[in-house]
Structure 1
Amino acid sequence: MGGVKTAPPILTTALDRLIGRAIQRAGGWLPFDRFMALALYAPGMGYYANASRKFGHMPSSGSDFVTAPELTPLFGQALAVQVDEALKQTGTDEVWEFGAGSGALALQLLDTLGERIARYRIVDLSGSLRVRQQETLAAHAGKVEWLSELPAAMRGVVVGNEVLDAMPVQLLARAGGHWFERGVVAGAQGGWAWEDRPTLLRPPLDIEGEHDYLTEIHPQAQAFVATLADRLTQGAAFLIDYGFPESEYYHPQRHMGTVMCHQGHQADGDPLVAVGAKDITAHVDFTGIALAAQDAGLAVLGYASQGRFLINCGLLALSDQASIAQRALAAHLVHEHEMGELFKVIALGAGEPWEPLGFAEGDRSHTL
C-alpha cells in the first residue's frame, strides 16, 4: 500500500505543541476555524506551509490530490479565453492569482495569452509552494511577481481555483433542538477531540426538521471577498470551486456537513488526526460569496457549473485538436458525474457590469 503519507514526526509534534498552546490560551477550547487555520497555515508546519508534495496525478508521486490545471493544460487554455475577454472588457493587462498551487494554471495562462498579460501577480501564503511555482514559471520570470498580501489597490483579472474551499470554516451542530459551535479540545488519551458549546450563531437558512445536524458557516471566505472588493478598483474575478447555492448547501438532508480531508489521493472526514499531513476543506456556499461581493460593491457577472463554463469557453474545440489521452482527461472537467457539476464558477466585476462568454449558456445566477 503506497502513497499514504504521514508528516515527519518532528513537524507533527511541533504543530501539535503549537495547537496545544493555542487551546490553553483560549481557555481549553478552540473554535474549529482557528484549529483549521493552524493545521493548514501555521508557518513551516501547517499543511500548506510545510514542504510535503501536495499536487499530482497519482499517490505514487507522494501527492495528495489533483486539481484541474494539473489534470490537463486544456483547463487553463479554456480559462484563458475568458481571461482574455475580461482583460479587454475591463481595459486592464494584469492577472492576479490566489493560491497558485504548483503554478500549473499560471503557466497555462501565461503560455496561452503571451503579451496580453503585462504582469502576473501571485498571492500565496505558502513559502514552499512559492519555490515550486518559481521553478514552474522560470520561462516567464520577468512577468511574475509574488505577494504575501493584497496591495491597497489593484486592477486586472483575478483567478482563484480551489481557493475558497481551503479557507477556515466554523462548525455549527444542532442537537436536541439546540445549536452549538463545535470546537477542539485536548483528548483524554492524547491527541485532539471535539467539544460543542452553546452559541448564538446560526446558519443563514433555517434547517427544517428536528434531527441532529452538522454544517459550516464561512465568515473568512466572505471576508476575503469583501477585501477583494475593497481593493479591486477595475477588473473582474473568476473563482472556481466545489460547492452549492445555500438552498442546496443547507438542505435538511445534508446533515453531516461538508468538511473533508485529502491525503495520498484518499478522502476521509476526520481533521483531528494526521494534523499538518493532510488537506482540510469544506464546500463553498456560493450564495454567501455572492451576497458578500454585492454588499461590498462588486457585481455578480455570472454563476455556472464548471462543465458549462468550460464548454462556453471553447473546451470542446480545444479538445478536438488534442491527443486522445488529453481528450479523456478533459472529459473529467465537464462530465456531470466527475468535476463538471460539483465544481462551479462565479464571476464578480468591479466597474461597469458586462456579460462574460463563460456564462453565455447555462447561467445559474438566479439560483443564488
Structure 2
Amino acid sequence: MKIAFYGSSLLSSYWNGAATYYRGLLGALAERGWDILFLEPDAFDRQQHRDIDAPDWAEVVVWDNTVEGCKTAMARAVEADVVVKASGVGVFDDVLLGVFDLARPDALTVYWDVDAPATLAEVKAAPDHPLRRVLPQIDHVLTYGGGAPVVQAFQALGARDCRPIYNALDPATHHPVQPDPGFSADLALLANRLPDRERRIETFFLEPAAALPQRRFLLGGNGWADKAMPANVQTIGHVGTAQHNAFNCTPLAVLNVARDSMAEVGFSPATRVFEATGAGACLITDYWEGVEQFLKPDVEVLVARDGQDVAAHLAALTPERAQAIGRAARDRVLADHTYAQRAEAVDALFRERLAARRERSAA
C-alpha cells in the first residue's frame, strides 16, 4: 500500500526542523511495508542545502515552486491509499489542501500538523480559513505534539479524529559518536532564529551566557548573524543533520528551547529532545507541561523554568553527572520513544481504517 505525503522537505533540514520527524517516521513505516511517495517544493534554497540523497525507501518528487508545479504534484494523489497533507509546506499551503479532493474514494485522507498550536491560533483568528472547510471532510488529523488540548481544539473545529504522534528517536541516525572539538562548549543550543522563539532563547540561553562569562556557549542554526551576543557565545550557522550527533555529544550539556506556542500548550517535545538524548547528551530543557511523560526530571533531563535555572544547572553540573543523565536519557528513549514504536501505531490505524472502508464498500 502507498502513502503520498505532501510536506516541506524530506531531503533538507535547512529552515526545516520537521525533516528529522519525516525521515524517522516515514522510514519506519516503509519498514512495515508501506510505499512512500514524498512530494516537496523547490523552495527556500532547501534543494541547495540537502542533508541526504533520496533514501532507497522513498520516491521523492521535488516540484517546481509554481502553481503548475504544485498542481502536477497534486495529481499524483490518485496513486495512493493514504493521502497526507502536512502543515507548513511553506508555499501553496492553501492550494495543497485541494489534494484531498483528488484522492480516490477508497483512500484515507490525513492532515498531519507539525506545529499544531500555531495552526490552531491561525485558524481561530480567521473565520474563513480554508482548514475550516477541509477538517470535517477528511478522515484524520495527526499531530506531532499537543496532547489533549490540541485534540480537543481540532475536534471543536470539526475534525472527525485527531491524535498525537509524538516526535521520537531513530537510533540508526542519532546515536553517540566521538566528540568534535569544533563543537566544544559548556552549553550548546541548536535552533533557527524564529519570531515565536527568539525571546525565549534570549531568556534561556543568552541571559545565562551573560551571567556565566567564564563558561562557553555555542549556538547553531540559521538567522543569528546580526544578533547581539555576549562575548562568550559562538554562533556557527546552519548545522546539517550529519553533524548533529557530534554537536550533541561534544558539549557538557545541550539546551532545548520550545517555541512560544509549543510551550504554552505543552505535551510537545521537539525533535531536538530525542536527537540529543539519543546521542547520549545531557539535556537541559525549558519547562513545558507534560515533560515528565517523556523524561524523568533530575534523572533523565534537567528542567529549567527560567534563565536563572539554566545558569544554576550549568554551574552545578559536573562531567560525571552530565554523563549519567545522558546515559539514563538514552536508555529511556530507546525503551519508550523510538520511531519504530510511533510507526507501529500509525500503521495499525491506517490498516484498520482502510480494511474497514473496503469491507463496507464490498458489502
Decide which structure has greater helix share: 2
**Which TM-score applies when normalising by structure 2?**
0.32
Decide which structure has greater strand share: 1
**Which TM-score applies when normalising by structure 1?**
0.32
